[in-house]
Structure 1
């Protein structure tokens, strides 16, 4: 039976740290490109690149990427070279959570749930099959002028990090790319080992599913739990967006009514409450990189995980408090968010506590 797991984020426009920018600026400096040229048009300073708590938006990193690609346009396989420099330590607490995960499969599950703690622009979707695990890497929304660079960078970085997790090179069974074969296929093959195929319908790489169950050499249950808590707090702060999205989120939190917990308001009601038309609200949310359904899912998932972990409420009671008319509808939604049923999620969390 095939299972598909989407990343938690819907697009690449999420806030991120500066480690990725610092890495690219450092690489460029090694090849004679001054820092000022790399940071041109970003508003960033060299000092900010040394601040581990600094946060930037995705468009700022995109501006640095464009500066890099323009400055080193004559270097073949630039995306491959950059991608190989992303290591576990580049990702901070996100990387430590991955490396201390019990298995590669659980590290992948965690990474998809908290993908907005990474630096990717190409969004991976996991396909779990009996005979093969496939990561389909979507680039459709990535700007065309840097699309191939970012596919090469992000796929190489994913392969590099997964290899770091295993403590050995990750063996691929397939590697496919949407773009035509470049003049440096040999450089890509150095990463994939298996001969890559080009001009294919999707960007993807695949591995034997048995690798997903392989214990990671640095797995540590206590460290993993600590890192998960820190990642949860960090992503909560980043997702607590300001502006219109925060106002909508506040109105979507279920509240008790005369007959118990009222269902969350529809988008028309939220728009009216904010003194604007539904069309205007949709436009504002789209400009903020989100939507009514995505925000409702965010609120419901956060509250569901909290109630399933911290309270003895039954699955049916949790469903009612989240505004679902039927427990079965909530179970289906929760499985779409996490890949697990609420009951299985609760058992796993109880086993780890």
Structure 2
């Protein structure tokens, strides 16, 4: 079954890229997304449409880290009811539990799980399906989007102590 995400997140990315001087038509090229759909917050996009948009975004930005930066532009209202549920949770722990339980209401194509031991807790973001050339950029987008959510939920500008990568890196960090 094809994943469908709310068009709201894509619209936020589109606005961000337009603010950087990139043309809407270039970003929507070969996506199949008509202009009229962008104005309807109830619309959804298929994974094929959305992933082509992100390929276009990377190409237009000419920056392999563009999706890492893009994730910083997915703010809590971009997530709709899921975001409202997180911010309405009585504790950070409950927000994380709820967020993980209903992760399918986000924009991720990755597997995100909470990992904990006696000293630390964190999120593990890993490949849920083969995204080809978008695998690492989409993980990076999820890392930065998670950072933004943590910052809002904890009301802390620096809510993360460290980010670790394991496994083969598919591109050099710049």
- TM (norm. structure 1) is 0.46
Find out whether 1:88 has 2:76 as its counterpart.
yes
Find out whether 1:113 has 2:101 as its counterpart.
yes
Partners of 1:83 and 1:29 lie apart in 2 by 15
Partners of 2:46 and 2:80 lie apart in 1 by 18
SS in 2 for 1:171: coil
SS in 2 for 1:43: coil
Q: 1:167-316 to 2 correspondence within 5 Å?
A: 167-178=155-166, 179=169, 181-183=172-174
Partners of 2:86 and 2:50 lie apart in 1 by 23
Deviation at 1:21, TM superposition (A): 1.1
Partner of 2:141: 153
Deviation at 1:115, TM superposition (A): 1.1
Find out whether 1:163 has 2:151 as its counterpart.
yes
Partner of 2:51: 62
Find out whether 1:124 has 2:115 as its counterpart.
no
Runs of 4+ aligned residues of structure 1 deviating over 6 Å after TM superposition are none
Which range moved further: 149-158 or 138-147?
138-147
**Residues 313-338 of structure 1, C-alpha deviations (whole Å, 9 max, x = no match):** xxxxxxxxxxxxxxxxxxxxxxxxxx
Partners of 1:115 and 1:76 lie apart in 2 by 26
Q: Which runs of 5+ in 2 are unaligned?
A: none
Deviation at 1:14, TM superposition (A): 2.3
SS in 1 for 2:122: strand
Deviation at 1:107, TM superposition (A): 0.8
1:177–1:140 distance in 2 versus 1, CA, 3 Å:
farther
Match among 30, 36, 61 for residue 47 of structure 1: 36
Deviation at 1:44, TM superposition (A): 1.1
Partner of 1:347: none
Partners of 2:128 and 2:112 lie apart in 1 by 12
Deviation at 1:96, TM superposition (A): 0.6
**Residues 96-146 of structure 1, C-alpha deviations (whole Å, 9 max, x = no match):** 110010111111111112111110122211112221112110026242311
Partner of 1:37: 26
SS in 2 for 1:176: coil
1:79 and 1:149 in contact (8 A); partners too: yes
Q: Which runs of 5+ in 1 are unaligned?
A: 1-10, 184-353
- TM (norm. structure 2) is 0.88
2:58 and 2:64 in contact (8 A); partners too: no
Partner of 2:61: 72
**Whose Rg is larger?**
1
SS in 1 for 2:80: helix
SS in 2 for 1:47: helix
RMSD between aligned residues: 1.9
1:121 and 1:142 in contact (8 A); partners too: no
Which range moved further: 136-145 or 153-162?
136-145
Partner of 2:9: 20
2:111 and 2:128 in contact (8 A); partners too: no
SS in 2 for 1:168: coil
Partners of 1:135 and 1:24 lie apart in 2 by 23
Give the number of aligned pairs: 171
